[in-house]
A and B are shown apart, each in its own frame.
Chain A
């Protein structure tokens, strides 16, 4: 079956630091890949997506590239802000009727 593995959190950074959150996956066929963000007490919001190999999804300064050769979709941001503090979920669809989510990675950004 499909699976998504994310790095354990929390990830703690100072403001303006570089962010990487690792995500790797296993799936049959050609999945589509997503990053969602969850702020405290809220639901998940779609952050970015990529639907085929070598696609780069980007939004609000965050980027992730669909790497089929390494089955990865790592989330990056060049300069984080305190307002980026949240939980980030990597997910995939395709090769199953049900979307598959990672366990989430908590990001804490200090001023």
Chain B
């Protein structure tokens, strides 16, 4: 079955440490996204990518970095510059990223990041 796999499910970060969240999809989707979700809140877009080797900042990119070296993979690094990283992180993909897209997004099951 095609889908999106996020790992790990739970992650703990020490002060001053960078951590990387994995996101892999086998849906052959061009577009991929990272969202942050805080308790009782909606989704906030961190980064998105339309194609391999290209990505754009979302609304809250500060303290985060991404790469898109392969179509299937879009890892997110939470750097030590992100002072409040405790949240639920969701990766998503869609067939395309276009001005007139009518395609839904597919989501992974998320990674919960906490501070030690």
CB distance from A57 to the nearest CB of B (A): 11
How many residues of B are counted as interface, with CB atoms below 8 angstroms from the partner's CB atoms? Answer: 28
Q: Which residues of B contact A101 (CB under 8 A)?
A: 42-43
State A95–B103 Cα separation when bound (angstroms): 13
Task: Please list the residues of chain B having a beta carbon within 8 angstroms of any beta carbon in chain A.
Answer: 4, 6, 40-43, 45, 48, 50, 58, 90, 92, 94, 97-110, 112
Task: Please list the residues of chain A having a beta carbon within 8 angstroms of any beta carbon in chain B.
Answer: 29, 32, 34, 36, 41-46, 49, 51, 89, 91, 93-99, 101-104, 106
State A103–B92 Cα separation when bound (angstroms): 17
User: Within the complex, which residue of B6, B40, B48, B112 is in contact with A98, where a contact is CB–CB below 8 Å?
Assistant: B48
Q: Which residues of B contact A94 (CB under 8 A)?
A: 99-102
The verdict on A43 contacting B107 (CB below 8 Å), with A98-B58, A101-B43, A103-B42 known, is: yes
Please give 10 more A-B residue pairs, beta carbons under 8 A apart, in addition to A34-B104, A101-B43: A29-B100, A32-B102, A36-B104, A45-B107, A46-B106, A93-B101, A93-B103, A98-B48, A101-B42, A106-B40
State A93–B97 Cα separation when bound (angstroms): 9
| Cβ–Cβ contact A93 & B102, under 8 A | yes
| Cβ–Cβ contact B99 & A95, under 8 A | yes
| Cβ–Cβ contact A96 & B99, under 8 A | yes
Q: Which residues of B contact A98 (CB under 8 A)?
A: 45, 48, 58, 97
User: Within the complex, which residue of A32, A42, A102 is in contact with B42, where a contact is CB–CB below 8 Å?
Assistant: A102
